[in-house]
Amino acid sequence: MSTEAIPAEKPKRNYNALFGLTLLALLVLLWIILSVATPSFASANNISNLLRQGSMIAILAVGQTFVIITGGIDLSVGAVVGFATVIVAMLINAGVPVFIAILLTLLVGVAIGMFHGFGIVRMGLPPFIITLATLTSLRGIGLLMTNGNSISINNDAFQLFSRSSFLGVPNLFWMVILVGIPAYIFLHHSRWGRYLFSVGSNAEASRLSGVNVQRTIYMAYTLSGLCAAFVGVLLASRIGIGNPTQAEGWELQAIASSVIGGTSLFGAVGSVHGPLLGAFILATINNGANLLNVNAFWQRIITGALIIVIVYFDGLRRRGK
């Protein structure tokens, strides 16, 4: 009789972990192949470089993932990064203490995210539209503010940060850990994380269950804006200038990393470790292709093909073979 526990095979839900391991294996495999194929890949210099490249997209991808889990999308993140480089550069050059300048820049990111929340919740705009609008107008505002010029930052300590390492690991990569751990706890171990998933799965059911759907949506976009502004600060530190046209197309790289990392564009499926791995896989491919002198045009094609292959296999396994 079915009163007693139903005999079940091993819980099938280690799926997330399993998928993560597969991605990790893929990443390691890529590294091994590239180390063999080109001597310069495994050099300390190149590895640091690769980690720096991947780190910024990785942080963007985490914020992006929160949004995608709710069933939305944030196309503005690349523009926010560029805009944030301008803000932080201007503030520092105006003599604002670096710490305060960073804080204010992050607040700008939060404000942009809140604005997206407002547009979606209050004005009923589709996420795609409101963030697309921000994408174009924010670049415009930045160009107005800078008259189309780059602002070079005259603060060496600020620039030194992103070029240095701690315990042999680039500081930028430490920033991924700094963002990744709280993000992981937030998404997988706090009730807010559960709410992100439930809103993405069925907003009406969540609402009737007492979930504050509007606040959840605000939260997702705000976090994405915050991550983007943070990346903007890191980028400004790395290149030493503020320029609103920087980070062009990064939103697509962030989305691609997220999707490679197992996030479903239909919402309600995703993790934190997936997008992180996804970002470094993308970075490795770009880096490797550069070292192997693969035509930059081909790199784009390879990235596209990779997205299709990984998402296809992921879908196959989700459907349970």
Partner 1 sequence: MTSTAQELHPAPTLEPGRTILELKGLEKRYPGTHALKPVDLAFKAGEIHAIVGENGAGKSTLIKLLTGVMPRTSGDVMWEGHPAALATPHEAMALGINAVHQEVVLCRHLTVAANMFLGEEDSRFGILQQRAMVRQAQKIIDDLGFDLPAHVVLGDLTIGQQQLIAAARATVRGTKFLIFDEPTAYLTRKEADQLFTLIRRLKGEGVTIIYISHRMEEVFELADRVSVLRDGTLVGTRTISETSEPELVRMMINRSIEQIYHKEHFTPGAAIVEARNLSGKGFENVSMTVRAGEIVGLYGLIGAGRSEFVTTLYGRHRKSAGQILWQGKPVQVNSEHDAIRLGMALAPESRRDQGLCLNLPVGLNLNLPIYKRISNNLLISNAQEKTEADRQIADLRIKTPTRNALASSLSGGNQQKIVIGKWLAHGAKLFIFDEPTVGVDVGTKAEIYRLFGALLSKGAGIILISSYLPEVYELADTLHVFRRGKLVATQGFRTADHEEILTQALAEKQEKLGGQT
Closest CB to partner 1 among residues 4, 156: 4
Token pair recorded at residue 228: 């983007």
Of 49, 201, 245, 290, the residue at the interface with partner 1 (CB under 8 A) is 201
- Window contacting partner 1 (CB under 8 A); options: 48-56, 126-134, 157-165, 200-208: 200-208
Asked if 123 touches partner 1 (CB under 8 A), the answer is no
Contact letters (x/-) for partner 1, 166-195, by CB under 8 A?
-------------------x---xxx--xx
Closer Cβ to partner 1, 237 or 264, answer by number:
264
Q: Does residue 18 interact with partner 1 by CB under 8 A?
A: no
3-state SS record for 6-23: CCCCCCHHHHHHHHHHHH
Instruction: Give the footprint of partner 1 on residues 258-277 (CB under 8 A).
Output: 268-269
- Binding-residue pattern over the window 214 to 253 for partner 1, x denoting contact by CB under 8 A: ----------------------------------------
Binder of partner 1 out of 24, 30, 207, 299 (CB under 8 A): 207
Give residue for tokens 């998928």: 19
Among 97, 148, 209, 301, binds partner 1 (CB under 8 A): 209
Choices 129-137, 166-174, 209-217, 222-230 (CB under 8 A): range interacting with partner 1: 209-217
Nearer to partner 1, 101 or 203 (CB): 203
Binding of partner 1 by 122 (CB under 8 A) = no
* 126 contacts partner 1 (rule: CB under 8 A): no
Residues lying near partner 1 in the complex (CB under 8 A) are found at 1-3, 6, 8-9, 11-13, 185, 189-191, 194-195, 197-198, 201-202, 204-212, 268-269, 320-321
